[in-house]
Amino acid sequence: MAEFGHYSLCVSWILALIGMVSGVLAGRKPSRAWLETASNATILVCVSSFLALAALAFGFLSNDYTNQYVWQTSNRDMSPLYKITAIWGGMDGSMLLWATFLSVSAMCVALRGDKYGRTLLPWTLAVLNSSCAFFLTLVVFFTNPFRYVKAGFIPPDGNGMNPLLQNPYMAIHPPTLYLGFTILAVPFAFCMAALLSGSLSNEWIRLTRRWTLIGWCFLTAGIVLGGHWAYIELGWGGFWAWDPVENASFLPWLTASAFLHSVMVQERKNMLRIWNIWLVTLTYALTVFGTFLTRSGVVQSVHSFASSDIGPAFLIYLAILLAFTAFMCFYRRADLKSERGIESFLSREAAFLVNNLIFLSICFATLWGVMFPVLSEGLTGVKQAVGIPFFNTVNIPLFLCLLFMMGVGPLIAWRKASFSSLVRTFSVPFLCAFLAGVLLVWAGVLSFYPVLTYCICVFVLMTIMGEFHRGLKVQRAAAPSQGTVTGVATLFRRHRTRYGSHIVHFGVLVVTIGITASMAHKVEKEFTLAKGETYQEGRFSLTLNEFSEVEERNFTALRGVVQLRAIKNDELLGTLKPELRLYKRNKETTTEVALRMGLREDVYLVLAGLDDSGERAAFKLFINPLQVWLWFGTVIMILGTVIVMIPVGLREKSAVPSGEIERSKA
């Protein structure tokens, strides 16, 4: 199967080149034959790439240790789930998965070609195939997963996958993240197609909105799944450490979020046209940059792969992307001029621009923190790293400004808002936020940033509730007999983009509260227990029943059995079984966290080992308030995004609330 997979990759690479060239020819001269060639080649690139991926999967499941990559990242003791996970557990397979997912996105564009118009489609396919050709070039010539082992015999067993990756979340986190990265190549392709074809109306914006939302949705899910993997696997009680590779996935999320907000200004007011082109380009470029960081060895991370020689290829590709975009923007500068400017700082256009600037400020600060060790070593010869305090100090104030603008921006009128309308709109939210701050201080929450964060969340929540209240009020005026539930459903049906966005923003509030509470009010303790002893912390008591060695196929483990009880009524809340594992093949040690999740807090227990006597077990205990709301909030964000993406149905124009019409015209 290795030969079959290799030849499938080679065919896919050749087809990508054919699709790129035929797309360019179809774009330069209206030729149906060349366009069909480009479309068919794009579809076949996906088919061939998928066959190569399937061949690699077969190699893992059949324990084919003649394959060097299978031998390096798998062994016979691994379960079938982790053998499949091992496909993207190393450099070579992850690059193949990336190229395959990119070809799937390109194929979807080709299959829906009749929806995209004759002008943009050829150039879009050409750009997408050029991206596929680049990644397939890397896979075929640099990171081919179908190379044979160099030994003169077939190894009886493999080395096995990194124990940290032998977790169910690693089966879904990387593919979800890769889907987000690769889908975001489609908006970039449409943007470049608009520049190449000279069709610089807002059509490309309309065509890419849903693609951007889908990519953003997968990227959001992938980032949070990665945070959850770190939370339950690494044993340090947190979910985000501003790790370079974590940041690499966060950077394109920031620029994609900025683009989703600024396109509304272009669609409504025909402004920020060059700005949006660069946001799309930066988003795609940052996905490539993140891949470079993970695989080049430039930065060290628990998430990164081994260093390789493909770093220069990524840098050259990035330079070509940015230079080409700059050249095309200069070439089309006359057609890209905005028809109007911002008339007032107190306007929705200005609010969205401020929103974008904050997103980019966070992006720049994070990128600076990631690259500072590299830059410092290049300039001084000494590598100086920045840690969590730097990122928190710089980014927390920016995030709070962004959160505040999330409540302000959608409610300000277009062009210019009057002072009286601002007072009427924001007086109640401001008053509620102030009262919330007073109550928090009275309750004993005295830290500045947590109090400010909760107050801003209350402010934004009240603005969202005010929007729903005004919409329902107008809806009831138009249909007095309509109930509240029916009215809300009608609002979502007729104005799904607006109210779906409010659901996304509400999810952001839930996430923010979960993050703030878990960071600001976390309890962290270390202690030792002998069998039968009890430790108390907060409203919980922990009693060590026993600890013992456990033998499994792939590892041996020291397992503790701890009863968790409520001190108040001595109620048994659960049994926690943290483990300290030693993997047999590579002799690596990992911790398996025992976690009791709750709406109020998480009880997070780590077994650190035994003392010198062997009679007492050492534990680390974390009590993380409201941690689960981070995960719930992400689900709400994704639900809101899905609502926004629902295709527009037939609307009864006569039933559209008049107040909503007036608001949209404002």
pLDDT the model gives residue 518: 92
Whether 151 is in a domain gets the answer yes
Separation CA 464–CA 461 (nearest Å): 5
Segments of 202-253 assigned E as strands: none
The DSSP call for residue 88 is: G
> Do 236 and 303 fall into the same domain?
yes
Question: Looking at the structure, do residues 255 and 308 belong to the same domain, yes or no?
Answer: yes
Q: Residues 537, 433: one domain?
A: no
Say if residue 149 is in the same domain as residue 264. Answer: no
Both tokens assigned to 501: 């966005």
Based on the fold, state whether residues 527 and 480 are members of the same structural domain. Answer: no
Same domain, 157 and 208: no
Asked whether residue 289 falls in the same domain as residue 180, the answer is: yes
At residue 302, the pLDDT reads: 52
Estimate to the nearest angstrom the gap between the alpha carbon of 191 and the chain centroid: 22
Mean pLDDT score of the chain: 88
Q: Classify residue 89 by its DSSP letter.
A: S
Domain shared by 260 and 313, yes or no: yes
For residue range 248-297, list pLDDT tens digits in order. Answer: 999 999 999 999 999 988 888 888 899 999 999 999 999 999 888 887 66
Residues 159 and 48 in one domain: yes
Structure tokens at 145: 């997963």
Range of the domain at 180: 170-331+351-410
In a domain, 479, yes or no: yes
pLDDT, position 387 = 85
In a domain, 605, yes or no: yes
Angle at 275 between CA 270 and CA 276, to 5 degrees: 75
Q: Could you say which of 410, 432, 460 is where a domain stops?
A: 410
**H helix and E strand count, the chain:** 20, 10
Using 50 as the pLDDT threshold, list the residues of the chain that sit under it: 650-666
Q: Which two tokens stand for residue 386?
A: 């920045």
**Residue 360 falls inside a structural domain:** yes
Pair 135, 177 in one domain: no
Q: CA–CA separation, 514 vs 506, rounded Å? A: 13
92: left (phi over 0), alpha (psi -120 to 50) or beta: alpha
pLDDT at 651: 39
Residues 541 and 493 in one domain: no
Residue 622 CB neighbours (<10 A): 23
Which position has the token pair 């603008």? 405
Tally of structural domains, the chain? 4
166, 196, 230 - which closes a domain = 166
What pTM did the predictor assign? 0.92
Does residue 60 lie within any of the structural domains? yes
Does 296 fall in a domain? yes
Last residue in a domain, options 166, 187, 204: 166
Are residues 54 and 107 both part of a single domain? yes
| DSSP class per residue in 502-558 | HHHHHHHHHHHHHHHHHHHS-EEEEEEEETT-EEEETTEEEEEEEEEEEE-SSEEEE
Residue 226 lies in a domain: yes
In a domain, 560, yes or no: yes
